[in-house]
Structure 1
Amino acid sequence: MKSDVKEIYKIRTTEKETLLKWYHLLRLGRSLDERAPNYLKQAIGWSYHAPAAGHDGIQLAIGQNFDRSKDHLFPYYRDLQTCLAAGLTAEEIIFNGISKDTDVAGGGRHMSNHFAKPEWNIHNVSSSTGNHTLHAAGIARGIKTYKAKGVAISSQGESSVSEGYVYEAINGASNEELPVVFVIQDNGYGISVPKEDQTANRKVAKNFEGMKNLRIIYCNGKDVFDSMNAMTEAVKWAEEEQKPVIVHANCVRIHSHSNSDRHELYRDKAELNYVKEYDPLAKYRRMLIRYERASEEELEEIDAKVKKEVLAAHKAAMAAPDPKPESVYDFVFAPAYEPKKFPDGLHKHDGEPKKLIEALNGTLKEEFRHNPHTYIWGQDMANKDKGGIFNVSKGMQQEFGKERVFNAPIAEDYIMGTANGMSRFNKDIRIVIEGAEFADYFWPAMEQFVETTHEYWRTKGQFSPNVTVRLASGGYIGGGLYHSQTIEGALTTFPGVRVVYPSYADDAAGLLRTAMRSEGMTLYLEPKALYNSPKAATPIPDEFEVPYGKARIRREGTDLTIITYGNTTHMCVEAANALKEEGIGNIEVMDLRSLIPLDKEAILASIKKTSRALVVHEDKVFAGFGAEVSAIITELGFEYLDAPVKRVGSVFTPVGFNRILEAEILPDTQKIKSAAADLLAY
């Protein structure tokens, strides 16, 4: 009885116009939800559809409490009703469902049921469940940093909370006191896995009750009014208090998880009848009539209007253009900064040599002065006089302050994911992160790394994550496992990220400047064994720039081309000089500098001149980056060759800790010299 009184009060204090608008949105959402599988049956599209039925109450509340002028919404794949309530049209929903070029989320580049409208701050979210919580935390950091109004809203199912990066996001938002509303739509299942197999708590939000600065609101996600009250309070509190909120909404899943799932295989008839009985739309309709806020005729009139609206949207969608096949090559890479003072990345400068670590530190500071919207964070980045594990960022927090230079938790996914998120707040923002203290520790961030590589392509150029990921890479320091590996062989396989690997101080400065001024993501690998090495020290002109995709000849030659980068560049020069002194040959050494994009023209031009090629890198020979270089030479330059392409690199083992083991595993000057001599004698 008390519950009825409460509901009557809510209805009487709500304008009829609003109540009928909500009914229209709910009916429209349900109509589209039920129509979606028909497109698949007719082989038109919508091959992935996760029904929203049963989540209607909380999804209506999310969308109606989202203000696109200041808020940022990260919906998940079941949020059809959320996105309609946030302002998407029926046409835009169907465009996405059947993957039309007119799909505002990304022109059919992403899975159906991944609704978005980036120009309205309804973000294009990945299929990796719950990963957008990190992006929401990152953009909330932007909101707070720039003292803007609004909140970030992250919506997801309860099973995604089992993912480690969701805990990282909520812990980070709590620690940083960020204005994020994390909505957990709890329908009791992760596809077919019941909640009790996911977590010990009946309500997953209880897992977070011990976190400071975090408010948790529980609501009935099946009830429009309870959901509306919860979301209104959550958004208001998060914005005013500048702290995170979890809204835990209890829902039901009326249908299967998706159109590829058969829920009758794991749910009995009693349960299926139960969830239908608690249908939020049917309940809302009954209440409007029972409390005389709408007549049967008024609601039937809306039902008829919705039918016409859906039919019109269907016709528009069927007439809309499909993506063109050749468009797959568009928006792979965001626009790169084009150097003006040093268009070829070359210079004639005789100043005082600077070490590679000085080049990095100095360029970071110069670029922070150049662009006030530049930020850097990572582990051990800014603790008193310490600036990263190798002191690359030394003195930066003292000059630029704690808002722009700060420590991150030991959570590589959080470091990477919040960079993706914060870069969404403002296109002028440039972010540099130390993705991990050593490149070998970057693997926990790989999910976010992969996600970020395809953001620009997936959104059809609507969002570019302007992030430079710095990693201290390679061996020759006696570091062993997790401290001496080089990982570019794996990371160059992902389209959408530029990869650079300098060998000398001048190139280190020039490539970093270009990375920090470019749009899109750059993976910046630093040969840590050369940080303080005199042989990597060079003069550096003021504002030196190195373009992407431009190799550099480090030693001219006529008899053999050695193609290399990173730590091994110096060994290759030493080997070439030694062979020249022995009268064995005149070797050309090419420093790639940029792996993605790769300077194929320079490689082929040198091979045409020398007729022999030796590819050298620190990484493993098997499946290393050199395999791609070798394949390019064989495919495009075979006619120039007088000998087979040869490779030198690490053996196919991890890098051992003992210096004897390390020396056996990694390439060195003598190994390179022997391989070059054999090739010259072929």
Structure 2
Amino acid sequence: MIAPTVSTNIDVDALYRALATPRAIEEKMLHLIRQGRISKWFSGYGQEAIAVGTAWALHEQDYILPMHRNLGVWTTRDVPLRPLLCQLFGREGAFTEGRDRTFHFGLPEQRIIGMISHMAAMLPVACGIGQAFQYKQEDAVALAFCGDGGTREGDFHEAMNLAAVWNLPVVFLVENNGYGLSTPTYEALAETEIVSMASGYNMPGRSVDGNDIFGVIEAVKNARETALRRGPVLLEMRTFRMRGHEEASGTAYVPDEKMDTWAERDPVERLEEYLRIAGGWADDDLKALQSDIATTVNDAVEWALDQPPIESTPEEESAAVYAPHEPHDEAPPLEADLDDDTATAERRYIDALTDALDEALAADSDVLMMGQDIAEYGGVFKVTDGFVDHYGPERIRNTPIIESGAIGAGLGLAIEGLRPVVEMQYADFIACGFNQIVNNLAKTHYRWGQPVNVTIRAPYGGGIGAGPFHSQSPEAWFCHVPGLKVVMPSTPRDAKGLLHSALHDPNPTLFFEQKKLYRSIRGEVPSTPYRIPLGQARTVRDGVDATIVTYGLGVHWALDEAAHWAEAHDRSVAVIDLRTLVPWDKETVRASLSETSRVLVLHEATRTAGFGAELAAEITEDHFELLDAPPIRVAGADTPIPATKELEETTFSAKRDLRDAIERLMAY
């Protein structure tokens, strides 16, 4: 047996209980699986010293972002055992109420933020938490766990670089247990000494015996001090998982000699040996303590298993998807509540966005902005021009080219109560941050009730000859994901009011800004801050012969076409601007259909699986009795967007098909 590092000033009695508790739970879980009482368990057997030692070493104000096998983080931070076990078993009383399993949840009051299943995805979140600590000048760090396999993910490298560039108080802890499920580390990593990666990001790195509880504590304490003083640290914890990735998968892929070697390094037995030699503990003392821990665990486990299965209703589950919207005291008034004599000024679409952001930054120091080239350069479209001079680089921050990392950091900031705005240079590039949006931001409130006030601004759309990678309209990707809100203003007045609402909404909001409209349209806009409620459409033109339901650039196409039909054919076409796609205003659409009985849905994006398909399906299903003709969709072609404006207009643009489509609708 390899002895642990000798340490002083540690209550070894309490430390042993802390280490032996997750081991006792591990052993109980293995018995339950053999008895057929549970079906799945992700074991951390043999790795407990890392989780326990980390939680022991950090301060109570520090955040820990653990993974599947870090049960010891939760138990060492005194998370109540009974509800924790209900969570593991999916019983009534679980923290996530059955909405996610095992350690996929957060307890901010315990400063623990659990994982999602996508490896390394929580490392950028740790950066955001560290950024919040740095901004608020708090003496705290964020420590994020990652496995050796997860170090191949882009989020790992984006987070490492971001933390290093911004000198964030973050500790990256890699549990190197030699396997990513069944794939040996040497088959997955070109450089198996993970600690060597630290030098590439100009941060300190240290390789640690992860099965030595005292060594782990000492390394984490030192890393914390370094992170507070000069920035991020990488710790590689060498360890081994003695059970399968999950119990049913087994360990047949591991050579027997490796199992024997690591069994000699068992962290619990090493601490017991230390207690016998250095502490003078007798075997009877250890057995008595082990029995006491086992009894406590057994009683809690049996109690949890006796709890009823979780029950819910579709209504309760739907209500959990979004955080309830309760505007802050400093929120601007609603547009409808503005005085009639409120001053207005003619503003371009881009000016209205700039005004809203400027007003929000001035009113609330919790509003921060991140994005590529948004500071001194002012953003590629100059929406944030001059902001860094007024609000400083701590609030207007240039990020590296890391869409996923920046969005994940936004979640970390939101967890700490800040209101981040993340700018995508072009909406096309949002694909690089897709996982953070649809799996992390979107699902967080549903899973464990955390509001996520993150606004993602994304310049989208065609009309400026920018080609297939700078002209897409990707709104439909996100309308499909519960938990997100999707906003697409078409006028300067709406852009300002809707952006203020997005900034005050406690849910992740995709705010799409049509690039061609930035400088091509003008309108009267109130000179004071105001909000337009999300989910409220606007009837921009009344009509009795047909209704066009649209948004964004489509609104302007529709208005032009409605004017043509009025002048050339004496036909009255209503135009409804949805403004918000999720949620969308069904009542306003129904009211118009009750007058016109004919509907055309129009959007700039490609036709197949575009949001217009959803609109047409919902209208047909809910309002069939009002219709005198089937709904017609007009959308962009099912091709990439060509680079020249001439080709875009003649082969792709929905506008080219609009008049013929209205003729068919009228003639039906």
Q: TM-score, normalised by structure 2?
A: 0.95
Counterpart of 1:94, as a letter, is L
Instruction: For residues 511-552 of structure 1, give each alpha carbon's deviation from its aligned partner in whole angstroms, at most 9, with x where no partner exists.
Output: 000011121211000011000113x53333522321011100
Residue from 542, 549, 552 that aligns with 1:563: 549
What is the CA distance between 1:598 and its match in structure 2?
0.8
- Cα distance per residue 1:409-437 (max 9 Å; x no partner): 01111111111112222x2x211110x21
User: Is 1:174 the counterpart of 2:171 in the alignment?
Assistant: no
Instruction: Select the residue among 398, 408, 411 that pairs with 1:417.
Output: 408
CA RMSD of aligned residues (A): 2.1
Judged with a 3 Å threshold, the aligned counterparts in structure 2 of structure 1 residues 184 and 669 are, in CA distance, closer, same or farther, namely closer
Which residue of structure 2 aligns with residue 357 of structure 1? 350
Q: How does 1:174-573 map to 2 (within 5 A)?
A: 174-212=164-202, 214-239=203-228, 241-264=229-252, 266-326=253-313, 327-336=316-325, 340-343=333-336, 351-383=344-376, 386-425=377-416, 427=417, 429-434=418-423, 436-450=424-438, 451-459=440-448, 461=449, 463-534=450-521, 536-540=522-526, 542-573=528-559
- Supply the distance in 1 between the matched residues of 2:334 and 2:370 (Cα, whole angstroms): 29
Deviation of the 1:584 alpha carbon: 4.9
Supply the distance in 1 between the matched residues of 2:491 and 2:31 (Cα, whole angstroms).
Answer: 60
CA deviation digits over 1:173-203, x for unaligned, max 9? 1111111111111100000111012212232
CA apart distance, 1:79: 0.4
Contact 1:356/1:504 (8 A) holds in 2:
yes
In the alignment, what sits opposite 1:650?
636
CA contact (8 A) 2:198 2:204 kept: no
Structure 1 stretches lacking a partner, 5+ long: none
After TM superposition, list the pairs within 5 Å mapping 1:139-154 onto structure 2: 139-154=129-144
**Which whole-Å CA distance do the structure 1 matches of 2:284 and 2:35 have between them?**
34
The question of 1:79 aligning with 2:65 is answered: no
SS of residue matched to 1:156: strand
Aligned residue identity for 1:352: A
Q: 2:636·2:654 contact (CA, 8 Å) conserved in 1?
A: no
Task: Give the residue type in structure 1 aligned to 2:216.
Answer: S
What secondary structure, in the 3-state scheme, does the structure 2 residue paired with 1:582 have? Answer: helix
Amino acid corresponding to residue 302 of structure 1 in structure 2: L
Q: What one-letter code is carried by the residue in structure 2 that aligns with 1:647?
A: R
Distance in structure 2 (CA, Å) of the matches to 1:402 and 1:116: 30
**Deviation, structure 1 residue 394:** 1.2
Following superposition, the deviation at residue 321 of structure 1 comes to 4.9
Amino acid at match of 2:249: D
Q: Are 2:659 and 1:673 equivalent residues in the alignment?
A: yes
Q: CA, structure 1 residues 59+539, in 2 after alignment: closer, same or farther (shift >3 Å)? A: closer
- 1:80-136 deviation line (CA, Å, top 9, x unaligned): 1222122224324312211234223x2332122446422211113211111111111
Alignment partner for residue 590 of structure 2, among 573, 584, 604?
Answer: 604
Paired residues of 1:561 and 1:610 also in contact (CA < 8 A)? yes
Amino acid across the alignment from 1:232: K
Which amino acid in structure 1 is aligned with residue 478 of structure 2?
A: L
1: CA distance, partners of 2:499 / 2:304: 45
State the secondary structure of the residue aligned to 1:644.
coil
Runs ≥4 in structure 1, deviation > 6 angstroms?
344-350
Q: CA deviation at 1:454?
A: 0.7
Distance 1:288 1:351 in 2: 76
For 2:199 and 2:661, how far apart are their aligned partners in 1? Answer: 62
TM-score by length of 1: 0.93
Contact 1:80 1:115 in 2 (8 A): no
**Equivalent residue pairs, number:** 661
1:28 corresponds in structure 2 to 21
Displacement of 1:469 in angstroms is 0.3
Question: Counterpart of 1:133 in structure 2: which amino acid?
Answer: L
Stretch of structure 1 that moved more, 281-290 or 476-485: 281-290
Identity of paired residues, percent? Answer: 30
Report SS of the residue matched to 1:81.
Answer: helix
Aligned twin of 1:620? 606
Comparing 667-676 with 542-551, which one deviates more in the overlay? 667-676
| d(CA) in 2 for partners of 1:23, 1:608 | 72
